[in-house]
């Protein structure tokens, strides 16, 4: 399933990605990837979700594939084509949030993602919204995005009662 999804992302990336200006989006891509690495590292012992697949061997390989393909394409298209004006930005945000959430919903129904430790699809709705709000902020004002992210990370660790002793 995840290979199929990433093939679709690659096709979309080749068609709509802003490859000419990839260097300007590179810091935001790294920001996106670092966020996922932090989740996987800090919550190694207390995962909120786990990916499963029939072809890819484990959560780590699925996550690495997403970091390389899905996140790259997302940043090149979503941030690369981020529109002017609040109406267009809202529709763009809803489109991309919808893409991610439909994929997650289908994957959860098919058993390719499972939720743990109090996480649910509804938390993913909120978290996905945060991701698509913060990516364009990072592109324009990276320090602000890092500050917001720190507050969000600390809040989620508190909400889900993740203790330092829960971390690897």
- pLDDT computed for residue 100 by the predictor: 97
- pLDDT computed for residue 44 by the predictor: 85
pLDDT band of 1, cuts 50, 70, 90 = confident
Once rounded to an integer, what is the mean pLDDT over residues 116-140?
Answer: 97
Whether 121 shows a pLDDT value over 90: the answer reads yes
Mean of pLDDT over the chain: 94
E strands, the chain, where?
A: 49-51, 113-115
Total domains in the chain come to 1
3-class secondary-structure state, position 66: helix
- pLDDT computed for residue 163 by the predictor: 85
- pLDDT computed for residue 42 by the predictor: 85
3-class secondary-structure state, position 91: helix
- pLDDT computed for residue 164 by the predictor: 83
Residue 98: which domain range?
Answer: 2-166
Once rounded to an integer, what is the mean pLDDT over residues 102-120?
Answer: 96
Phi/psi at 115 (nearest 5 deg)?
-105, 145
- pLDDT computed for residue 43 by the predictor: 86
Angle between helix 22-42 and helix 121-140 axes, rounded to 10 deg:
140
Whether 159 shows a pLDDT value over 90: the answer reads yes
Pairwise CA distance, residues 108 & 13, whole Å: 25
Percent share of the chain, pLDDT over 90: 83
- pLDDT computed for residue 46 by the predictor: 87
Whether 166 shows a pLDDT value over 80: the answer reads no
pLDDT band of 119, cuts 50, 70, 90 = very high
Q: Tens of pLDDT along 21-72?
A: 999 999 999 999 999 999 888 888 889 999 999 899 999 999 999 999 999 9
Whether 17 shows a pLDDT value over 80: the answer reads yes
């Amino acid at each position: 399933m995840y290979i199929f999804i990433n093939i679709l992302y690659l096709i979309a990336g080749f068609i709509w990605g802003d490859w000419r200006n990839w260097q300007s989006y590179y810091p935001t891509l790294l920001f996106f990837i670092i966020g996922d690495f932090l989740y996987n590292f800090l919550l190694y012992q207390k995962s909120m979700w786990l990916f499963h697949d029939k072809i890819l061997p484990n959560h780590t390989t699925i996550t690495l594939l997403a970091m390389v393909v899905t996140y790259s394409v997302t940043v090149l298209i979503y941030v690369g084509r981020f529109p002017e004006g609040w109406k267009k930005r809202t529709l763009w945000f809803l489109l991309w949030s919808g893409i991610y959430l439909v994929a997650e919903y289908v994957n959860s129904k098919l058993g390719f993602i499972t939720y743990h430790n109090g996480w649910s699809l509804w938390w993913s709705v909120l978290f996905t919204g945060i991701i698509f709000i913060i990516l364009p902020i990072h592109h324009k004002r990276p320090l602000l995005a890092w500050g917001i992210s720190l507050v969000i990370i600390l809040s989620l660790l508190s909400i889900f009662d993740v203790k330092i002793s829960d971390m690897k």
